A and B are shown apart, each in its own frame.
Chain A
Amino acid sequence: MTWTWLVWLAGWALVIDAVRRPAHQWTAADRNRTFWVALLTLMAPIFLIPYLVGVLPRLARTSNATTAPEFLRED
């Protein structure tokens, strides 16, 4: 029972993280934010592992690695 709640909480924490990431990061990672937010919100126990394996690393890789720092806004 406790484990189930932990999985749901982790899923929702990832939903918050996903929503806070800018749209261009999702585009650069070639993943659909709406799709993954919906899956994690409704079926976190099933899609938590696929998200952690297939989506989160790509988002982390594309966060700033593909952009020269001098081209980023300072504000």
Chain B
Amino acid sequence: MTFPVLTIRSGDQEDDDRLFPDLAAPTSGRVTALSPLDGKPAPFVATGVTVTRIVEGTHHKVLALSDVRIDVDVTDCRVVLGCQKYDKGGGWTGFGAGAVFALAANGVSKAMAANRRRGKVLVGHVRYAWLGKVGGSPKQGWLDTEQLRLIVHETAQDGGAMVMLTLSLPKSMNSLAISQDVVRRAATWRLSNDLSVDQEERLSLEQLQHAQPLSAQPKSFSLYTMPTSFRVSAGTAVGPVGQAPGAQGREVLDVSPGGGTGEPEERITS
């Protein structure tokens, strides 16, 4: 089964929150539930999302949503997002008498959409153990949008694809500042939760802990690259992850992006 990053959850589901976040209590004023491990979250709102799987150089768009409100939190262990009105309905337009029909059709369509999504929320998260790259593409022209991108890798069992989560942001937001915060928190998390970090990797992570803002690239993404990352699995969702060098029973870790043993703690080098 592939890993789509985002999934639809309802309040009556009692799944664990390793691969996808849990829903918050209805009275909390939040969409997704946070735990004490999340620390102090930094919230922002995104207005669109695209999930793309890249298998052997071929892009497959899994999901694309626009003109929606997505509540995003950058926390101490993940980037978590939730969208309550992911299915809005509507879209009918018309002129003259057609406008009256469009008004009625939009009303019906929106009511049906509200009924379809009742109690359901689109949620997802990228845990820092999985994070391969993060970066932004600032709005530079009139037609551009501010975008934030996070990249993870599936396990071989899930297809071994590279999965890109791209969030569209309001123009008042600074995607490079968000990616700087994400990479700093991710590096901090890895340093304190990844047992397999060696000396060289530790130095790289310590540099990323104090990462400076990236410079904007015209029409492309500026990305921070984590020295290594774990493929997405429930086994690497919560710390500690990895195994200390020389530890008994250490799994063989694949280091090539395309290969992999399919073990839950598969690790890749960027």
Q: Which of A22, A73, A74 has the most CB of B within 10 A?
A: A73
| Interfacial residues of chain B within 51-82, with CB under 8 A of chain A in the complex | 67-69, 71, 74
Q: A67-B44, A68-B44 are in contact. Are A27 and B68 (CB under 8 A)?
A: yes
Q: Is the C-beta of B50 less than 8 angstroms from some C-beta in chain A?
A: no
User: A23 → chain B, closest Cβ, in Å?
Assistant: 7
Contact A72 B172, CB 8 Å, known A28-B45, A67-B43, A67-B45? yes
- The reply to whether A30 and B42 contact each other, CB–CB distance below 8 Å, is no
Distance from A52 Cβ to chain B, minimum over Cβ atoms (Å): 22
Tell whether A68 pairs with B47 under 8 Å between CB atoms, given A27-B67, A30-B69, A73-B173.
Answer: no
Residue in A closest to B173 when the chains form the complex, CB atoms: A71
Residues of B near A27 (CB, < 8 A) are: 45, 47, 67-69, 170
Is residue A66 within 8 Å, beta carbon to beta carbon, of the partner chain? yes
How many contacts A-B (CB < 8 Å)? 56
Q: Which of A58-75 contact B (CB under 8 A)?
A: 62, 66-68, 70-74
Interface residues of A in 27-69 (CB under 8 A from B): 27-28, 30, 62, 66-68
Residue pair A68, B43 in contact (C-beta under 8 Å):
yes
Q: Is B252 an interface residue (CB 8 A)?
A: no
Give the dominant DSSP class at B's interface: strand
- Indicate whether B174 reaches chain A with its CB closer than 8 angstroms: yes
Is A20 an interface position by the 8 A CB rule?
no
What number of A residues sit within 8 Å (CB to CB) of B? 16
Chain A residues with Cβ under 8 A from B47's Cβ?
Answer: 23-24, 27
Is A71 a contact of B178 with CB atoms below 8 Å?
Answer: yes
Asked if A30 meets B181 with Cβ closer than 8 Å, knowing A22-B170, A24-B47, A68-B44, the reply is no
Q: Which B residues contact A (CB, under 8 angstroms)? A: 42-45, 47, 67-69, 71, 74, 85, 169-174, 177-178, 181
18 pairs of residues in contact across A and B, judged by CB atoms under 8 Å? A22-B172, A24-B45, A24-B172, A25-B170, A27-B68, A28-B69, A28-B170, A66-B43, A66-B44, A66-B45, A67-B173, A70-B42, A71-B44, A71-B178, A72-B172, A72-B173, A73-B173, A74-B174
